[in-house]
A and B are shown apart, each in its own frame.
Chain A
Amino acid sequence: MIAIVDYNTGNLRSVINAVRRAGAEYVVTADRGVIESADRVLLPGVGEASSAMANLRETGLDEVIPRLTVPVLGICIGMQLMCAGSEEGNVRTLGIFPTEVRRFVADRKAGIKVPHMGWNTITELNSPLFRGLDSGAWVYYVHSFAPDICDCTIARTEYGRTFSGALGRDNFFGTQFHPEKSGTVGEQIIKNFMTL
């Protein structure tokens, strides 16, 4: 059973639909007991980092998530909250990945618009999360902030600067992109997560 963490950060329908398409059993919950006993935990999220972090703290999940030993996958804001801190709302976050989340700097001449929206490639893939995928696979991004490169970087993307498209450490994984919106590549990543 996958626990999809519902901590009140926007619409979870896309993530739920993707998990359902992958054929997994899931429960949408904010209950710490349910999350602690799940086989896998998915931490989605859209919106603003500091308020999302406040929601996690309010439910006590900021203490539950870093102690989990089952595979955990953060998506977008969910992944950003697993980093050390974010410029968005200037907030300290869970500290699972030793990196900072920083805003993109718009550069009209270089064609860098913020948010970074659309399909981009992930390279230097270095995790079982990407089993069956080649460097240069296309994934879908919508975000204005992104984590810097660090020891836990398992995929890189270029957009004005090189950032961590995905992070991994022990049982913890995170993607800045949206696997639930990334076509067959995203489906493969979600299936890989189910079998980690």
Chain B
Amino acid sequence: MVAKRIIPCLDVKDGRTVKGVNFVGLQDVGDAVELGKRYAEQGADELVYLDITATHEGRGTFTRLVERISAEIDIPFTVGGGIGSLEDAARLLDAGADKISINSAAIRTPELIDSLAAKYGSQFVVVAIDAKQIDGRWVATTHGGRKPTDRELFEWAREAQERGAGEILFTSMDHDGTKAGYPCDTFARLAEELSIPIIASGGAGSVEDIAEVLTTGRADAALAASIFHYGQITVRELKEQLKLKNINVRV
């Protein structure tokens, strides 16, 4: 059977990673390629690189970085951050990205999902949804959770799937950064309603949290940043502990 995936996420600004200060034994934690390679050696199943640069020059730097990642790293990687058009996606895919992740742009222009899937195939298209609960209803947001939209989580996720998304990356903005675990009921309901893989993001504070979202929450993959970057646990240790809990992981 296909394994549950563990995916470290690296934030990149002006071509350099902005977290990872406690990464043991790495000379230059800012080097996104070196950090990614280290995660790959530890057993990461995929990598996600998020470009948090706002400037036009930064985008060019990121594209060159994607070329280097593709040349040096031998596991699949997704890139996201600021992808607003077919041209942006084409540039990153040509540079060697295996998948692209779109978020706000998909909410603004849902047809972008259709055109990306038609041109490159669904497997290239990850739709990221940042949602939070407002009056008991899960609402998709933009701008890091600050701006609620008129899209409801489940309805939007289903629409994204129908338009051709290959995976849904769901972050609960109520849990992100809290290290208090994931909203597993919500994940399980997403799994019930969708037929494409779901990546759980935001909220992991412990091995137990990740184990729970992969079992009770029925997520196909867990994405995490802080617990790896700050050396709380290595990818390998996490996967070995998940295996001890009878979760099917690649170790």
Contacts and interface: CB of A to CB of B under 8 A. Distances in A.
Contacts of B75: 140, 181-183
Interface stretch (A35-43, A66-74, A112-120, A125-133): A112-120
B15 interface: no
A103 interface: no
A159 B2 contact: yes
A184 B71 CA distance: 15
Contacts of A113: 195-197, 220
Nearest to A107: B195
Interface string B69-112: 01110111000000000000000011110100000000000000
Interface size class of A (residues with CB under 8 A): 20 to 34
Nearest to A178: B76
A46 B74 CA distance: 17
B70 A183 contact: no
Contacts of B70: 13-14, 17
A141 interface: yes
Interface residue tally on B, bucketed by range: 20 to 34
A11 B93 CA distance: 8
B167 interface: yes
A140 B76 contact: yes
Contact of A118 (B3, B95, B120, B121): B3
Contacts of B195: 106, 108, 113-114
A120 B123 CA distance: 17
Given A20-B71, A106-B195, A115-B166, A138 B3 contact: yes
Nearest to B94: A11
B96 A11 contact: yes
Given A47-B121, A117-B197, A183 B74 contact: yes
A17 B96 contact: yes
A21 B74 contact: yes
Contacts of A91: none
B1 A120 contact: yes
A18 B74 contact: yes
9 contacts: A17-B71, A106-B195, A108-B192, A108-B195, A115-B122, A117-B166, A159-B1, A183-B40, A186-B74
